[in-house]
A and B are shown apart, each in its own frame.
Chain A
């Protein structure tokens, strides 16, 4: 059986939708920047690439036309390299990695570019023409529920107070600001359109500033703009290949993929998705939570992150040590590649043995990847 490794990770800066520095950059151009930087950084020859698998949560408008193929052409990849756009909402680009792993495992290619992108400026969340099925809405009212409402549901169900969420958000901001200050984020960022660094991080955030914000989704609720991930523009890319190919090509391997999993849950508590998918992936890897040194758990909302941490028994000092999406931003399609690439890079940087990358997905899903140091 082929071992699969992650042999490169890079991303664009993440900046706020509409007001951020990347708002005028088309999403396909953003993805091209990440893909080209990945090729440069890893030094992998583009003749070895089988396919470009690109995650995107709202693949329409400028994100339409099977964007992956367009990005491959625009990035100057050989025409014989394929391109496929995949959509599992927020899990889209982690799904891209999983698909590459599966293909490599069955001998259907040696090296894949797994990327993700979302311009939440240029293609709004829910898309330009949301047209849900009335029959489903009647059958399962939560199926189309807004993400903010699901975050409130989790906060209520798990009795996570507003101040607890805000303490966590402050930690996320502080960790991200520190990582940026120490140059730890610059290592994974390629500048685009004169934007060099992340734009969402709010270093000045304190418990007091957060406490002053009004509830964002439910006037009686506890979730605010400060404890939710911001609307973000950005792209990320990882190189996924067989371990044999990585070794023979002299690539700098970050981590080995040990196991993967997806799972479903009730849509109205979609934020709890990572719990089941992580447990499945750990079980498939033959590991316990205690074996995991590095966790990247996507912070769609503070309430949902804390609920997952509680159910999974996470040691928060190992979770999102360079900050999470509340601080960095969450460009939906790009996040899966970011947290998986990040977990692999951290495993190498911090010197642990195992890492877990996991995230929740709108509509009620979770996705998880377990990585192993090489």
Chain B
């Protein structure tokens, strides 16, 4: 069955977010909620939820036009809409009788074969379907989304004994490919995987911090970054999800948890926390939580709760010797350190990891499912079993034995072996029977991490490597810090241009960092500018131009496959690819203006060309130039891949992949499709208006500066851009070549980089990570 139309019932934060994300997949979706007593507008709840979607940050919609795919309605008048839906998602209040009553009215209108699922976070499936028809149960699942649904990749899926496999497969396939979710099959157990472990982790980490006398800053610093957990740690995370939500989840789970479950012994809500909830300090949505922004005397201050007194005080950076040790020696050094930070890490990790080891196969069929759930649902860099491998399962065993704690069977089964290993070039995991099994990736999932397990790269230097993806396709990977582009990356691109044609057909540029690349290495640029190495800077600029030009005109197709940020010089790289297959969550932009320079690796040239040849743009010589100037002078960054097409950072014919794990396979397929009868692109010479355009743009820029919307150096940068986009001193009857454009970029770059204001901007960006408006 193909899912072509969806309904979401319950227009709360989760329901609306789920509906928005289904719209992001291009699928029409009805969003229904009840008619509040006495309401004039019977759709008022869904309507309000829809209007909130537009202003929500981070944005729930990948493109504002997606809102048109969502139809608001109510459960009194619009249940008929469900008859046309292939998937009906229930996201109403966590009350069993309310859900069951709703299911009965859904059952009355549901089309044959349509799947119904609940977004419950705590109620077991067997309770939800009790008393409903067999036909309903056969088409019923739990699909548990995480908040916010657009960004949190985890989807926990629970099916019942009666659930038809085709119903499950339809939802699983849609969630995977269309919604981009990492679908993890869970047992029908309380809190499923992520919240079962996650809530245990929070309870333990809060209680131990209090027991050991750590401050919230210290606790978050220890359980955050060193453990590969988001830097919100445990207290910051509580603020984020809401202090009041945790006791509710816990209470609901306690109703069905096994009698001897270790979470029962950890279920107490500290007095301090219940006091905060009662007083309205429920976290970011309330008056504040463990942290808050105080605005006393008009000055913004970050404050934290003192865990002893319950009073707010100024937030202080955590300073512990164990943290310094962790900064140098990593997790093991942290755990070996005798101070209270080390002890805290030891206590939290040993309890959480042994709890996890005790839950398989109850909550999930195998350990990779548990690890995946914690990575995708809680943002952990490593799942619990990956963490055990990092510490050594012996370490954990010894801790547990020393404490006289029970040893989970899985840990005994491991017998000191790792939970994962690479064998025969393949990743394997330890199954419950003590044997290693190959980790199976779904069809259409290709990971560079797996490619790397098979052997070394074809070519590599400090900053980039070239891998063989088979079938004649090579993959160029950046691997510098934040994937910043440096001379070695450029050198590897040039090597790829040499190597690919020898025995291969196509190239994909891709990596598995959090960001495709943040752009050129600014530290290097600032260093050269500070020693006035202008000639070297000019050479670097020219080197980038020549490298990208070589990539563009290479005799084989190149597909860029970005995910995350693709800024500055890396977007210029994508501009020179034949095609792009982007992850839906790609944020692209030419942000050079923020540091007082302009895109000079062919970015201005390529963006202008795209606008000039764009058939849907307004006519005349000025509109493409105006568009480019607006986009680049304001350092516009797209909020998604879909939005990037509006700016022509991507072209309508480029591809978008919703599931991050499918990006490389999609990009490879695209590269192979281009490889038959490949002909390199041609640059269309452009007729540009020259000085008159620069003058017209200069007038507009001047108005911006006068009215205070642009700073003095903003104006200087924009004027430099205006000079490039208008074609320099050309006349409309002359044609401007690719080389002409590159020369204009170089000259403008060199003029700006020699100004004190640009150096100030560079320095400020490197020091603070923020743009200076001088």
User: A residues within 8 Å of B by Cβ?
Assistant: 126, 128-134, 137, 144, 146, 148-149, 214-219, 221
Contact = CB atoms under 8 A, between A and B. Distances in A.
Contact of B695 (A134, A214, A218, A219): A134
B545 to A, nearest CB: 28
Interface string B699-721: 10011001110000000000000
Nearest to A132: B695
Contacts of B619: 128
A218 B708 CA distance: 7
B35 interface: no
Nearest to A152: B706
B692 A133 contact: yes
Nearest to B698: A137
A148 B709 CA distance: 15
Contact of B703 (A129, A133, A149): A149
B487 interface: no
A216 B623 contact: no
B338 interface: no
Contact of B699 (A132, A215, A216): A132
B602 to A, nearest CB: 26
Interface string B608-619: 000000000011
Instruction: State the main secondary structure of chain A at its contact with B.
Output: loop
A67 B340 CA distance: 82
B703 A148 contact: yes
Instruction: State the main secondary structure of chain B at its contact with A.
Output: helix
Contacts of A130: 622, 696, 699
B620 A129 contact: yes
Given A137-B695, A144-B699, A146-B699, A131 B707 contact: no
A221 B708 CA distance: 10
A134 B691 CA distance: 6
B564 interface: no
B623 A129 contact: yes
Given A128-B622, A130-B622, A146-B699, A215 B692 contact: no
B35 to A, nearest CB: 32
B693 interface: yes
A252 to B, nearest CB: 44
Interface residues on B, range: 10 to 19
Nearest to B705: A219
Interface string B668-703: 000000000000000000000101111110010011
Contact of A128 (B618, B689, B694): B618
Nearest to A149: B706
Given A131-B693, A134-B691, A146 B620 contact: no
A216 to B, nearest CB: 6
Nearest to A126: B696
B621 interface: yes
Nearest to B706: A218
Contact of A144 (B623, B691, B695): B695
Contacts of B703: 146, 148-149, 217
B706 A129 contact: no
Given A149-B703, A217-B703, A219-B708, A131 B623 contact: no
Interface in B639-689: 689
B621 A129 contact: yes
Given A215-B707, A217-B707, A219-B707, A131 B699 contact: no
A129 B699 CA distance: 13
A141 B691 CA distance: 15
Closest 7 CB pairs of A and B: A219-B708, A129-B620, A129-B622, A130-B696, A131-B692, A134-B691, A218-B706
Nearest to A136: B695
A245 B762 CA distance: 75
Contacts of A133: 692, 695
B706 A219 contact: yes
A219 B692 CA distance: 27
Contacts of A137: 695
Contacts of A144: 695, 699
B708 A215 contact: yes
A149 B707 CA distance: 10
Interface string B715-743: 00000000000000000000000000000
A131 B706 contact: no
Given A146-B699, A148-B703, A217-B703, A131 B708 contact: no
Contacts of B618: 128
29 contacts: A128-B620, A128-B622, A129-B622, A129-B623, A130-B622, A130-B696, A130-B699, A131-B622, A131-B689, A131-B696, A132-B699, A134-B694, A134-B695, A137-B695, A144-B695, A144-B699, A146-B702, A146-B703, A149-B703, A149-B706, A214-B708, A215-B708, A216-B707, A217-B703, A217-B706, A218-B707, A219-B707, A219-B708, A221-B706
A363 to B, nearest CB: 13
Given A129-B620, A132-B699, A144-B695, 11 more contacts: A128-B619, A130-B699, A131-B621, A131-B692, A131-B693, A132-B695, A133-B692, A137-B695, A217-B707, A218-B707, A219-B706
A66 B511 CA distance: 57
A132 B696 contact: yes
A155 to B, nearest CB: 14
Report which residue of A130, A148, A219 has the largest number of chain B beta carbons within 10 angstroms of its beta carbon.
Answer: A130
Nearest to B691: A134
A227 to B, nearest CB: 14
Interface in B332-366: none
Contacts of A132: 692, 695-696, 699
A221 to B, nearest CB: 8
B700 to A, nearest CB: 8
Nearest to B620: A129
Contacts of B695: 132-134, 137, 144
Nearest to B625: A129
Nearest to B709: A219
A219 B708 CA distance: 5
A128 B706 CA distance: 23
A216 B704 CA distance: 10
Contacts of B621: 129, 131
Contacts of A148: 703, 707
B707 A128 contact: no
A137 B693 CA distance: 12
Nearest to A214: B708
Contacts of B622: 128-131
B744 to A, nearest CB: 17
A217 B694 CA distance: 21
A137 to B, nearest CB: 5
A153 to B, nearest CB: 12
Contacts of B692: 131-134
A134 B690 CA distance: 10
A148 B708 CA distance: 14
A238 B298 CA distance: 59
Contacts of B693: 131
Contacts of A215: 707-708
Contacts of B699: 130, 132, 144, 146
B611 to A, nearest CB: 14
A216 B703 CA distance: 10
Report which residue of A132, A144, A215, A217 has the largest number of chain B beta carbons within 10 angstroms of its beta carbon.
Answer: A132
Report which residue of B621, B694, B696 has the largest number of chain A beta carbons within 10 angstroms of its beta carbon.
Answer: B696
B289 to A, nearest CB: 35
Contacts of B706: 149, 217-219, 221
Contacts of A126: 696
Contacts of B696: 126, 130-132
Contacts of A216: 707
B695 to A, nearest CB: 5
A214 B708 CA distance: 10
B182 to A, nearest CB: 43
A215 to B, nearest CB: 7
A216 B708 CA distance: 9
Nearest to A217: B707
A215 B696 CA distance: 23
A149 B689 CA distance: 26
